[in-house]
Amino acid sequence: MQRLDAASLPAYFRARGWFADRAVRAVAEMSGGVSNTVLRVELADAAVIVKQPLERLKVAAEWRSDPARAANEADGLRAAGRLLPAGAAPTLRHYDDADRVLVMDAAPAGAVPWKSRLLAGVVEPALAADAGRILAALHGGSWERPEWAARFRAGFRYFEELRLGPYFEYLLPQHPTAAPRLQAILAAMRTERRCLVHGDFSPKNLLVTGADRLMLIDWEVLHYGNPLFDLGFLLTHLALKAVHVGGADPAPFFALMDTFLAAYGRALDTRAAPFAAVAPVLGALLLARVDGKSPAEYLTPAEQVHVRRWALLILVDPPTDVRGLAERLEEVSRR
């Protein structure tokens, strides 16, 4: 693979004849991700994003994944164009399999990650509702469809490398008392296949493009699998913000969870999983964000202790609704 950077990108485009009628005005490397080199390229009349996967991820622990996952992401963006509402995912412009390079349209000017707004304490129910609708469109449009299962069978390998191994299996020796519950979740993730699962459905990857609109990016671990993972993943991030930002008043973030789940449930109808089924996955993911290979970078040491206790309590006694989740946080807080 030719490794791209800001200096080599213009020549790379010229060699392939990409955007030959549009001069490259500027190239800047973007920060924030751990698994890819990401460049923003300003053309004469537009902007595109260039992604190239890393084999070794940028985290402290040893963590590797095959760069061939770029082909999975390219196909995922094509699938998104069929399943999601207009503007809810980037449009793929080019894919170079030899160098594992994806080129897609950049988000509209002014777009920011939903994560940054949440960390600033900005609580916007309309965005939580749109997240629910987007996820329901992905899950519902591929629900028990053999053609999607066959098309994204290979994607499960990257889900193993980037999620199940570093998030769940990594926890087993650290938390032997929780190991049986974690192993049960692992088994469910590996055997229950219902629909397309994004695998990285987080506020970091949901860009705010309007007052009530989001764009979903980073499709490299898309696979046909268990929808509980996506639900648990988004709820985990809102739960972490409840601890880190909410502090003494986490209620607005729990309200966001209810709004997200309600929008998802309305769109998916009877196929939507009950909260009691999602709760153990949420507990395991909370534990992974303090003790897994990719800990949440913004948690303080005291907050990490708090989240760890909360996660273990959820695994032992899973709540049946968001109110029960909040009650378990209160219980931890009283200790």
Q: What is the pLDDT of residues 40-51, one digit of tens each?
A: 999 988 999 999
Q: What is the pLDDT of residue 225?
A: 98
Task: From 70, 105, 140, give the residue that closes a domain.
Answer: 105
Q: For strand 92-96 and strand 101-105, is the pairing parallel, antiparallel, or unpaired? A: antiparallel
Q: What angle do CA 44, 89, 257 make, to 5 degrees?
A: 135
What average pLDDT is seen over the chain? 94
Contact call for residues 264 and 272 (beta carbons, < 8 A): yes
Residues 18 and 127 in one domain: no
CATH of the domain at 315: 3.90.1200.10
With a cut of 60, say whether residue 31 has pLDDT above it.
Answer: yes
Residues 46 and 123 in one domain: no
Q: What is the DSSP letter of 66?
A: -
With a cut of 60, say whether residue 174 has pLDDT above it.
Answer: yes
| Contact partners, residue 21, CB within 8 Å, separation at least 6 | none
What's the mean pLDDT in 152-178? 95
Q: What is the pLDDT of residue 241?
A: 98
Q: What is the pLDDT of residue 335?
A: 77
Task: From 60, 77, 105, give the residue that closes a domain.
Answer: 105
Residues 201 and 310 in one domain: yes
3-state secondary structure of 227: coil
Confidence of residue 32 (pLDDT cuts 50, 70, 90): low
Question: Each residue of 51-99: pLDDT tens digit?
Answer: 998 877 665 565 677 788 899 999 999 999 999 999 999 999 999 999 9
Residues 152 and 181 in one domain: yes
What's the mean pLDDT in 139-150? 97
Contact call for residues 105 and 209 (beta carbons, < 8 A): no
Any domain includes 3? no
Q: What is the pLDDT of residue 58?
A: 63
CATH of the domain at 74: 3.30.200.20
Any domain includes 294? yes
| Prediction pTM value | 0.94
Between 2-16, 167-181, 193-207, the lowest mean confidence (pLDDT) is in 2-16
What's the mean pLDDT in 241-249? 96
What's the rounded Cα separation, in Å, for the pair 300 and 303?
5
Question: Each residue of 285-322: pLDDT tens digit?
Answer: 999 999 998 899 999 999 999 999 999 999 999 999 99
φ/ψ region of 103 (left if φ > 0, alpha if ψ in -120 to 50, else beta) reads: beta
Residues 213 and 303 in one domain: yes
For residue 151, give its domain range.
112-334
Q: What is the pLDDT of residue 44?
A: 86
Q: Quick one: which of 24, 62, 222 has its CA closest to 4?
A: 24
Residues 99 and 221 in one domain: no
Contact call for residues 134 and 212 (beta carbons, < 8 A): no
